[in-house]
Amino acid sequence: MKKYKMETTVGVFVIIGLLCLGYITVKLGNLSFINSDTYSLNTRFTSVSGLRTGNAVEMFGIEVGRVGMLSMDQDEQVAVVELKIKKDVAIYGDAIASVKTSGLIGDRYVQIDPGGAEEKLDHGDSIVETEAPIDLQEIIGKYAFGDVEEK
């Protein structure tokens, strides 16, 4: 009888541990099983160096979504970025998307200036105006090796 009580106790702790592990995995992985609370917008950049799926999308310094799929349009020679934006966030037709870095060597994220045009962007629309990220290594290299011209 004592043996079964011990096995039951161990089994309960194992199940609780697995449930906690699953919860932490979902929370830290920023996974969501139902994506009905977001809509997709597409952007095109000449470079998305350092940007990854799951990186933040921010507007006014507040996270309003996540980076979805990254792909290439080889006909136009650009990178296509899908943005998953929260449904309650309005982005207008003249919005500007730019790839930024949080801190000096931090993660990349997409910064959106929402614009103010009359028409709002809907699911599947594209943000036309974009700014590629600044290549910090290139700038540091120019200063280090004296390729910077003074005016």
Indicate the DSSP class of residue 123. Answer: T
pLDDT band, very low/low/confident/very high, at 17 (cuts 50, 70, 90): very high
pTM recorded for the entire structure: 0.68
Cβ 85 vs Cβ 57: under 8 Å? yes
pLDDT band, very low/low/confident/very high, at 118 (cuts 50, 70, 90): confident
Q: Read out DSSP for 54-103? A: T-EEEETTEEEEEEEEEEEETTTTEEEEEEEEETT---BTT-EEEEEESS
**Which residue carries 């161990």 as its tokens?**
10
pLDDT band, very low/low/confident/very high, at 36 (cuts 50, 70, 90): low
